[in-house]
Structure 1
Amino acid sequence: MESAVQTQIVIIPADRIVDWESFHDVFDEALGFPGYYGRNMNAWIDCLTNADDAESGMVANPVARGDLLTLSLVDTAEFKRRCPEQFDALIDCTAFVNYRRREVGDGPLLALLIDGNFA
């Protein structure tokens, strides 16, 4: 019998994101990226691709191998309206992290928990 996948939920205060600088500030603060974090989406992808590798130091609180890191966005609908470029990049790059991991035989790692009404 397989064991159940556990998830670690990290709150992302998307209401504080107004541009690329604040996007990277918020994710860096929430996830504890290393001091050399490049503050671009390639660096974001690199950090989160390794969020289950404690030795890599890419996030302050890595998840166990096989578990999920769930990014819970606060005030998502307003974030999407205010920062459509950053919102789309978040969706695309989250999907790419999981794709990248699957390509090397690892399971998906990231999940998004999105609140709000998008109607």
Structure 2
Amino acid sequence: MPSARLNGEIITDWDSFHTESAQAFGFPEFYGRNMNAWIDCLSYLRDEDGMSKFRLQENEVLNIEILHSETLRRQAPEIIEELEFCIAAINERYDDYGEKPALKLTLR
């Protein structure tokens, strides 16, 4: 299972979250650094849209690991909450297209 790791120790606010995400997921230079852009970049991982360095096979899942998640939860709990919400929304989008969910969140 492919995996993207975000370091919860260095994510202290939305700006650092988007910096870490852009690097971990390989988002394009024009990445909008907001959650709408984050969702857009991860909504077509089984297509060749070039919005991420990941390209999933038909039933493959991308594991998003948040390392030091307790530190992130203390520093910026709203980021974890929004991340959980957005991953669920993206997986629902895949389901709407008749595909299996593509993302899994793992808090470490």
**Aligning the two structures, in what range does the TM-score lie when normalised by the shorter sequence?**
over 0.9
Deviations 1:38-85 (A, max 9, x none): 1110111111111222x2001013222320000111000110111011
Correspondence 1:103 to 2:96: yes
Correspondence 1:66 to 2:59: yes
SS in 2 for 1:56: coil
Greater CA radius of gyration, 1 or 2? 1
CA RMSD of aligned residues (A): 1.1
Q: 1:15: which partner in 2?
A: 9
Residue-pair matches, total: 108
Quote the Cα distance in structure 2 between the aligned partners of 1:61 and 1:90.
18
Gaps of 5+ in 1: 1-6
TM-score normalized by the length of structure 2: 0.94
Greater displacement, 55-64 / 37-46: 55-64
Q: 1:75: which partner in 2?
A: 68
The one-letter amino acid of 2:41's match is: C
TM-score normalized by the length of structure 1: 0.85
Q: 1:88: which partner in 2?
A: 81
The alpha-carbon deviation at position 112 of structure 1 amounts to 0.9
The one-letter amino acid of 1:61's match is: F
The alpha-carbon deviation at position 28 of structure 1 amounts to 0.4
Gaps of 5+ in 2: none
Which runs of at least 4 in structure 1 moved beyond 3 Å after TM superposition? none
Quote the Cα distance in structure 2 between the aligned partners of 1:52 and 1:22.
27
Q: Which has the higher contact order (CA 8 A, sep 6+)?
A: 2
